[in-house]
Structure 1
Amino acid sequence: MKILILGAGGVGGYFGGRLIEAGGDVTFQVRPARARNLAANGLVIKSALGDAKLPVRTIEDAQGAGPFDLVIVSCKAYDLAPAIEAIAPHVAAGAIVLPLLNGMRHHDDLRARFGAEQTIGGMCQIETTLSPAGEILHKSEFARMVFGPFEEYPPTPRAQAVVSDLATLCGSANFSARLLDPVDQALWDKWVMIGTLGGITCLMRGATGDVMAAKEGRELIEELLQEAISVATENGYPPSADYLVNARKLLMAPGSTFMASMLRDIEKGGAIEADHIIGDMYRRAHEFGHDANVLRMVYCHLQAYEARRARGGL
């Protein structure tokens, strides 16, 4: 199986590098500056699970490349539109698309552009960042990828074969992986978690433990969590009781330094996935008739940050 990964940042670079270690045939489609960095230094991973320095193949556009069996999209949601156009020639040549983004709206966008038969669902759980030198810094011992077909869109024989081959390859890779058929519940569970985590830590500009130290901090986290749960439930995917027990443990641990990557992006003055993660959840809640007052406040807060950033006011 030939795999193309769009992007070689913290997510795409980490999982792509581990797949190469496992013997995978992996190519990265990257921008020119990143291509030069990788050519000069290799793909460098620094992790408690094992460091790596790997020579990698890169392309800067789709001309003359491939064909590929699978395209893994690992960009941020605000880069999805150009990413779709960048991978379009590969998909036209028969590649199956696996996105590793947060939220759900990108699946609709990908299906609208390429058709349900060439897209599968996926998500990852990992804490990584890219160093100024282009090294992938894995900041915990947790790295997990989940993927599979959607309940509403049964896979074609080709997509099923690609998914099966990926599962086999991941079985030898230095990260946890799980093939789920269907994958929908896992994607909704992740959105409930990341929506609550991103929302509360960005709104309060602190880690979950900092919020817990505030008067009524726990109550505010719970209110936002309930709003996220209501959206998943209205869409037919309520989180299980066991999942919520674990989610509350992570979100409400006193003294925890747990925070969303979106808060780190804000602290660096960077672009954020406000509309994709929080805005889309708020819109869905509103469509179902829920007030979602905390989601509304979070979304307004993030839009104000984006407006200030756009005018150069940071």
Structure 2
Amino acid sequence: MDIAVMGAGAVGCYYGGMLARAGHDVVLIGRVPHVEAVQRDGLFLDTQTFQAHVPLRASTDAGAVQGAQLVLCCVKSTDTIDAAAEMAPHLAPGAMLLSLQNGVDNASRLQALLGREVAPAVVYVATEMAGPGHVRHHGRGELVIGPSAASESLAKLFAEAGVPVQISDNVMGALWAKLILNCAYNALSAITQLPYGRLVRGEGVEDVMRDIVRECLAVAQAEGVKVPGDSWDAVQQIARTMPTQFSSTAQDLARGKRSEIEHLNGYVLRKGEASGIATPVNRVLHSLVKLLETRQAD
């Protein structure tokens, strides 16, 4: 299958690399240093179970989505609007689009901007770009997608590439479950520049995380969203299964990049305000990350 990955960061490179390794024709669309490295040497896929240089195409031009039967949108939430505008003139009429992004509303935002169906996917993977053309996998890798005409074929496609896929009729609940994990870890990891395992051992941190979870669940309930599973148990599991992982927000701040905080704790804050629900812990974390971003911009 011809597949394009719009946004060749850590998530896009991991899933694009896995699909290319399984024999699909994949093009990564990303920034110059990564693209040049991939064009020269292929993508170095550095996983927990294997290491391999995977040959695949790469481009800095969104026009490379032309002809793709499947487009994985993996850009930062802050870049969703720009990515939609850049892709729109080049998308094939029958192309399937899958949003592999943080936050809960990117698929609907893309769908409104592109005027075509965009399926949301919930991503559970710990990855980082260890250098140009080098993606390092720290753990997990599964996806959750919603039921659709294409969901069974997508699940098969990914499964054959070594990526487990669950089809859920409550994708919005699954998106919120992932959002809660991000709200609990991302800002705290970014502010402290600590990995998850070290972070949770900090004095009072567990109580702060419990407060975050409670606030998020209250807002989700007001939104009519049924969050599956035990959110607090899921938060605890992350530190156990990914103890050395730094959040994507921590990685963004460390590199002087704008983070997705507006679409994480900031999203919960705005939805809480609209519903009359106080979210003081999410508010503080959102404000602190924004201050750190401002300091970097000075």
Instruction: Compute the TM-score of the two structures, normalised by the length of structure 2.
Output: 0.88
Separation in structure 2 between the aligned mates of residue 223 and residue 259 of structure 1, nearest angstrom:
21
Deviates further, 226-235 or 86-95: 86-95
Question: Aligned ranges for residues 55-74 of structure 1 at < 5 Å?
Answer: 55-63=55-63, 66-74=66-74
CA contact (8 A) 1:147 1:179 kept: yes
Percent of aligned pairs with the same amino acid:
26
1:136 matched to 2:135? The reply is yes
Separation in structure 2 between the aligned mates of residue 60 and residue 267 of structure 1, nearest angstrom:
24
Separation in structure 1 between the aligned mates of residue 277 and residue 285 of structure 2, nearest angstrom:
15
Unaligned runs of 5+ in 1: 150-154
Query: Partner amino acid for 1:137?
Result: R
CA contact (8 A) 2:66 2:90 kept: yes
- One of 269, 274, 280 as aligned partner of 1:287: 274
Q: 1:177 to 1:5 in 2, by over 3 A?
A: same
Q: Aligned-residue CA RMSD in angstroms?
A: 2.5
Question: Aligned ranges for residues 37-48 of structure 1 at < 5 Å?
Answer: 37-48=37-48
1:7 equivalent in structure 2: 7
For residue 31 of structure 1, report the CA deviation from its aligned partner: 3.8
1:152 equivalent in structure 2: none
Task: Say how many residue pairs are matched.
Answer: 297
For residue 266 of structure 1, report the CA deviation from its aligned partner: 2.2
Question: Aligned ranges for residues 105-144 of structure 1 at < 5 Å?
Answer: 105-115=105-115, 117-140=116-139, 142-144=140-142
Q: Tell me the alpha carbon deviations over residues 111-169 of structure 1, each in whole angstroms, 9 at most, x when there is no partner.
A: 22023x421111211111112342111123x21122225xxxxx5xxxx23x3322111
Separation in structure 1 between the aligned mates of residue 53 and residue 200 of structure 2, nearest angstrom:
40
Question: Aligned ranges for residues 178-189 of structure 1 at < 5 Å?
Answer: 178-189=166-177
Query: Partner amino acid for 2:114?
Result: F
Unaligned runs of 5+ in 2: none
Separation in structure 1 between the aligned mates of residue 124 and residue 62 of structure 2, nearest angstrom:
28
Instruction: Compute the TM-score of the two structures, normalised by the length of structure 1.
Output: 0.84
1:54 equivalent in structure 2: 54
Deviates further, 230-239 or 256-265: 256-265
2:18 equivalent in structure 1: 18
Q: 1:62 to 1:306 in 2, by over 3 A?
A: closer
Separation in structure 1 between the aligned mates of residue 256 and residue 65 of structure 2, nearest angstrom:
35
Tell me which structure has the larger Cα radius of gyration: 1
CA contact (8 A) 2:65 2:87 kept: no
2:79 equivalent in structure 1: 79
Q: 1:197 to 1:209 in 2, by over 3 A?
A: same
1:300 matched to 2:284? The reply is no
For residue 32 of structure 1, report the CA deviation from its aligned partner: 4.2
Query: Partner amino acid for 1:135?
Result: H
1:75 is paired with a residue whose SS is coil
CA contact (8 A) 1:200 1:224 kept: no
1:217 matched to 2:216? The reply is no
CA contact (8 A) 2:6 2:62 kept: no
For residue 226 of structure 1, report the CA deviation from its aligned partner: 0.6
Separation in structure 2 between the aligned mates of residue 219 and residue 288 of structure 1, nearest angstrom:
24
CA contact (8 A) 1:91 1:97 kept: no
- One of 150, 163, 180 as aligned partner of 1:192: 180
Q: 1:40 to 1:92 in 2, by over 3 A?
A: closer
Separation in structure 2 between the aligned mates of residue 260 and residue 203 of structure 1, nearest angstrom:
10
1:249 equivalent in structure 2: 236
Q: 1:278 to 1:35 in 2, by over 3 A?
A: same
